[in-house]
Amino acid sequence: MRHQRVINHLGRTSSHRKAMLANMAASLILHKRITTTTAKAKALRSYIEPLITKSKKDSTHSRRTVFSFLKDKEAVAELFREISPKIAERPGGYTRILKTGNRIGDNADMCVLELVDYNENMLGGETVKAKATRRRRSSKKKGEGEEKKASETPKKSPAKGKKTETQVVKTDEIPEEKSDKTSEETEKSE
């Protein structure tokens, strides 16, 4: 019987489980969020939260203790340098599990495990990113753009029940002989 055996073995040997949790914890610290199964996320949460609590006190002993669990110098440096000052006031609950549904291949229950203080969407948009605009052409100089706009005349072709198309004809640049040919070519292509 399994009375009071609370650890989830995750179908692995002890050494495999410790190595997997250490790798996942290092990835969570470096990337601030990971996607995994719900069972692994719950096991990782109980593995990493004591390490984050220990990182609040920045001493050589606590760094060595955390390194013995993580086995990754960059992750330990990131934890003590950036994460611990940000969560210094929080009494616990450093991670959040957001369920995302089932995996297609084996129908495993999937989730996103993230550090609470690093989710910009849930924090209310404290750090707003600039919206990227898509442009087809490179930006023009002010003088060129104004001259070209003045020389262009829009020509509309209205039709009942159909969308109207706008064609731009440049009057200054096209000689009269070529303008007749281009109008005939556009009529043929339509």
How do residues 56-87 score in pLDDT, each as one tens digit?
999 999 999 999 999 999 999 999 999 999 99
E strand or H helix that includes residue 153: strand 152-157
The mean of the pLDDT values for the chain is: 81
Supply the DSSP symbol for 118: G
pLDDT on residue 165: 56
* pLDDT surpassing 80 at residue 157: no
- The backbone torsions φ and ψ at residue 85, rounded to the nearest 5 degrees and listed phi first, read -65, -30
Of residues 76, 84, 83, the one with CA closest to residue 57: 84
pLDDT on residue 161: 55
* pLDDT surpassing 70 at residue 141: no
pLDDT digits (tens, 9 = 90+) for 92-123: 999 999 999 999 999 999 999 999 999 877 77
Higher pLDDT, 107 or 157: 107
pLDDT on residue 128: 46
Q: What is the pTM of this model?
A: 0.63
What is d(CA 18, CA 23) in angstroms, rounded to the nearest whole number?
9
Our CA angle for 77, 82, 88, nearest 5°, is 115
Q: Where along the chain do its domains lie?
A: 14-118, 151-189
- Residue 6 tokens read as 């609370």
Identity at 157, one-letter amino acid code: S
Handedness of CA 59, 62, 65, 68 (dihedral sign): negative
What is d(CA 21, CA 12) in angstroms, rounded to the nearest whole number?
11
E strand or H helix that includes residue 137: none
Q: Does domain 14-118 correspond to CATH entry 3.40.605.10?
A: no
Residue 114 · residue 95 · CB < 8 Å: yes
